[in-house]
Amino acid sequence: MTSEVDAARTWERFDRRRRLGRFVGVLVAFVVFAGSWAFLDMGVTNVETVPREINDLLSRMFPPDVAYVPEIVGPLIETVHIAALGTAGALVITIPVALLAAENTTPNAATYWLGKLIVTVSRSVNTIIWALVFVVVFGSGPLAGAVAIAFRSVGFLGKLLSEEIEEIDFGQVEAVRAAGASPIQVLTYGVLPQVKPALVGLSVYRWDINVRDSTILGFVGAGGIGVQLFRAVNAFAWQSVAMILIVILGVVLVSEGVSAYTRRLVR
């Protein structure tokens, strides 16, 4: 310990109890890790071959099959459509749900819990599971995908938007009401302006997430580029798979950029 004297200054931030706590934390993590590993019963020999197998897969992907691009343009556009439509649909459902799930705008306790229930169920079920459900309802195809995206997004948007509504300054709302405004006018003049930046920001952010989520819907028959990807994987056409992955990567990066730019714009 050559640097003991100087470093002691940094270490002072942690007293003995917190250090003990951190030690116990690490220990618990290790025990849980070992316990879980033992439970899964996978053995070590199995793991040893993993790097080689993955390396094998990656080498077969190279070089990506550029000639395959024309075939994925259509499904790619469909993916973008699913994301856009799903987000728009979610937005329409979210606004009333968020008003129900916010303590200060909900009409009564029952509606509040209804709002919370919708948000919770929607959020706890993954997009692909929603897609499984809606493929049953609408049959295979992108419509099921868009509805699945919408149903998953309602929970996300509803939770964050209702939190935003709970934070608003109620004096502003009250002043609008004091002028004799109707409930709808109170919402459009008192509440909406206060949550508008959040509303736009969150929708664009969710759209960005939805673009990623839409790429997998095809695995359960709910449309988009996932259909193509699944087909290529099952045909062991690894070079096509690589091309699809590159295209997905591109779309995701673009949507991330658009989303970040728009959110900066709306303040």
Partner 1 sequence: MTLDVTDLRKTYPTGDEALKGVDLSIDGSETTAMIGPSGAGKSTFIRCINRLTEPTAGTIELDGTDLIGLDDDGLREARRDIGMIFQEYNLVERLTVMENVLTGRLGYVSAWRAFRRSFPPEDVERAYGILDRVGLDGMENKRVDELSGGQRQRVGIARAVVQQPTILLVDEPTSSLDPETSNTVMRLLTEIAAERGVPVLINIHEVDLAVEHADRIVGLHDGEVVFDGPTAELGDDALDRVYRGGDPPESGESRAVTAADDGDGSVGDRFAGDGVVTTDGRTPDRPASGGS
Partner 2 sequence: MATERRTWRRPTAFRRREFKWAAYLGLVAFFLWSAWGVGADPARILQGFGSGLSLLGDFFPPEATPRQSQRIVDKMIESVAMAMVSTVTGIALSIPVAFMAAENLSPKPLYYLNRGFISLSRALNVIIVAILVVKAVGLGPLAGIITITFKTVGFFSKLLAEDLEDIDMRSVDAVRSTGASPVQTLIYGVVPQIVPRFAGLSVYRWDINIRASTVVGIVGAGGIGSVLLTAFNRYSYQYVTAILVAIIAVVLVAEGVSAVVRRRYQ
Residue 158 binds partner 2 (CB under 8 A): no
Residue nearer to partner 2 on the CB measure, 140 or 172: 140
Token look-up 């989520």 returns 213
Read off φ and ψ for residue 142, nearest 5 degrees.
-65, -25
Q: Which stretch binds partner 1 (CB under 8 A): 3-11, 55-63, 101-109, 127-135?
A: 101-109
Residue nearer to partner 2 on the CB measure, 105 or 135: 135
Which of 229, 243, 247, 259 is close enough to bind partner 2 by CB under 8 A? 229
Residue 170's binding partner among partner 1, partner 2, none (Cβ under 5 to 8 angstroms by kind) is partner 1
Q: How many residues does the chain have?
A: 267
Binding to partner 1, residues 105-144 (CB under 8 A):
105-109, 112
Read off φ and ψ for residue 176, nearest 5 degrees.
-65, -40
Within 8 A by CB and 6+ apart from 47, the residues are none
DSSP state of 64: P
Which of 124, 163, 167, 170 is close enough to bind partner 2 by CB under 8 A? 124
Residue nearer to partner 2 on the CB measure, 125 or 187: 125
The alpha-carbon radius of gyration of the chain (Å, integer) is: 25
Question: Among residues 229, 82, 254, which one has the least CA distance to residue 152?
Answer: 82
Which of 72, 76, 85, 119 is close enough to bind partner 2 by CB under 8 A? 85
Question: Among residues 146, 130, 142, which one has the least CA distance to residue 92?
Answer: 146
Residue 44's binding partner among partner 2, partner 1, none (Cβ under 5 to 8 angstroms by kind) is none
Shortest approach of partner 2 to residue 187 CB, angstroms? Answer: 18
Using CB under 8 A, count the residues that bind partner 1.
34
Binding to partner 1, residues 138-197 (CB under 8 A):
169-190, 193-194, 196-197
Residue 188 binds partner 2 (CB under 8 A): no
Pairwise CA distance, residues 56 & 39, whole Å: 29
Shortest approach of partner 1 to residue 192 CB, angstroms? Answer: 9
Pairwise CA distance, residues 82 & 224, whole Å: 7
Q: Which stretch binds partner 2 (CB under 8 A): 106-114, 163-171, 181-189, 217-225?
A: 217-225
Residue 145's binding partner among partner 1, partner 2, none (Cβ under 5 to 8 angstroms by kind) is partner 2
Query: Are residues 135 and 144 in contact, defined by beta-carbon separation less than 8 angstroms?
Result: yes
Residue 51 binds partner 1 (CB under 8 A): no
Pairwise CA distance, residues 198 & 35, whole Å: 43
Residue type for position 44: V
